[in-house]
Amino acid sequence: MNEKKIISYGREVIQSEIESLRRLLKKSIDKNFVKLVEMILSSNGKIVMSGVGKSGIIAQKISSTLISTGTPSIFIHPVEAMHGDLGMIFPNDILILLSNSGNTVETNRLASIAKKKKTMVVAITNNDKSKIRSFSDLIINTQTLKEALPDNIVPTSSTTAMIAFGDALAITLMRMRGYSSDDFAKNHPGGNLGRLLYLRVSDIMRTGRDNPVIKINSSVAEAIRVMSITSLGAVSVVDLKNRLLGFFTDGDIRRKFGSIAPSDLIEKHMTKNPVSIKNSDMAIKAAEIIERMKIDNLPVVDERGRVVGIVDERDLIKEGMF
């Protein structure tokens, strides 16, 4: 195997696609991009994405991204549209067609029929002089000069540009609508992104008998007993109003093995004013603290500083946050 040749081929492809993205950024995110965003924001219909072949696959991806970021959208295949799916396109919708050549027969036929239904048609193409122009209310040229291969036959740089344009459109619409990460999470409660953005400390913290807590006047022996019951290797130390004063772990025992006695008051050996997290905070924040500080547990407090739970590293691992 020729290692240098393999690396060279791979880099040529990526370099070609980088160049296509640079042209897209410079020439396609322009006044027509603004018109498209404004058109969608002022519409009371949905975005209908469509395309054939690789363009169709990209159209499906863009439609999915639009939906998850707050813009109603569906995907319709041009061929299926001719066999009943046209009924899903209404005059107040916006049909966005992806076609690199702009001369795809099935795509142009759908554009023609949509125009007769008074539906707005937008074409995203690499050839704004093509036939699809005659059916479009707005045309976006992705400005890709060449594909990654010298013979220009394999869609590579052009498909990358289309995907990037779709992402730019979806995220711009998301930001213009004021669609927040909380809104995004509500649409993704079952996925990892949803867990990261939607799950709160209160959803995963251990409470009640699983939350080891002792009073400030307790002994080290009592702390060890309570820690042993929950098997967490840590205990929160509170005052008479249950407010967090300190934190004591099995690590403290190991570090102070020669100087700590079971009869000692816990106040002597606990970590005073320990780091904690509020039960209303996002769980991802707890994960960040635990990872940054290289600790296993984190006491949880409410708005008044009262201990209401504990988060263990294993709870976060279970939720896929590590």
* Domains observed in the chain: 3-179 (3.40.50.10490), 201-318 (3.10.580.10)
Q: Is 58 helix (H, G, I), strand (E, B) or coil?
A: helix
Look up residue 121 and give its two tokens: 């048609």
Q: In what order do the strands lie in the sheet with 244-249?
A: 213-215, 234-238, 244-249, 271-272
Cα(216)–Cα(242) distance, integer angstroms: 10
φ, ψ of residue 174 in degrees (nearest 5): -60, -45
Would the pLDDT of 79 be above 90? yes
Q: Which residue, among 131, 58, 127, 68, has the nearest Cα to 96 in the 3D structure?
A: 58
Residue with tokens 């040749």: 5
pLDDT at 7: 93
| Residue at 185: amino acid letter | A
Look up residue 290 and give its two tokens: 């635990």
What angle do the packed helices 54-68 and 157-177 form, to 10 degrees?
20
DSSP designation for 138? E
Q: Are 128 and 102 in contact (CB under 8 A)?
A: yes
Would the pLDDT of 73 be above 60? yes
pLDDT at 186: 64
pLDDT tens string 165-204: 999 999 999 999 998 766 666 665 555 555 566 789 999 9
pLDDT at 191: 56
Cα dihedral value 299, 302, 307, 308, nearest 10:
-90
Would the pLDDT of 1 be above 80? no
pLDDT at 284: 87
pLDDT at 32: 96
Cα(259)–Cα(263) distance, integer angstroms: 12
Q: Model-level pTM? A: 0.65
Q: Which residues pair with 299 in a beta bridge?
A: 310
Look up residue 183 and give its two tokens: 């809104």
Reported confidence tier of residue 256, pLDDT bands at 50, 70, 90? confident
DSSP designation for 135? G
pLDDT tens string 110-135: 999 999 999 999 999 999 899 999 99
| Bigger pLDDT: 50 vs 199 | 50
Measuring CA to CA, how many Å separate 173 from each of 120, 191, 204?
18, 22, 33
Residue 23 CB contacts under 8 Å (≥ 6 apart), including other chains: 143, 144, 145, 161
| Bigger pLDDT: 39 vs 199 | 39
- The overall average pLDDT reported for the chain is 91
Q: In what order do the strands lie in the sheet with 307-312?
A: 277-278, 297-301, 307-312
Would the pLDDT of 222 be above 60? yes
pLDDT at 184: 67
Q: What percent of the chain has pLDDT over 90?
A: 76
H or E segment to which residue 95 belongs:
strand 94-99
pLDDT at 196: 60
Reported confidence tier of residue 258, pLDDT bands at 50, 70, 90? confident
For the chain, give the longest Cα–Cα distance.
89
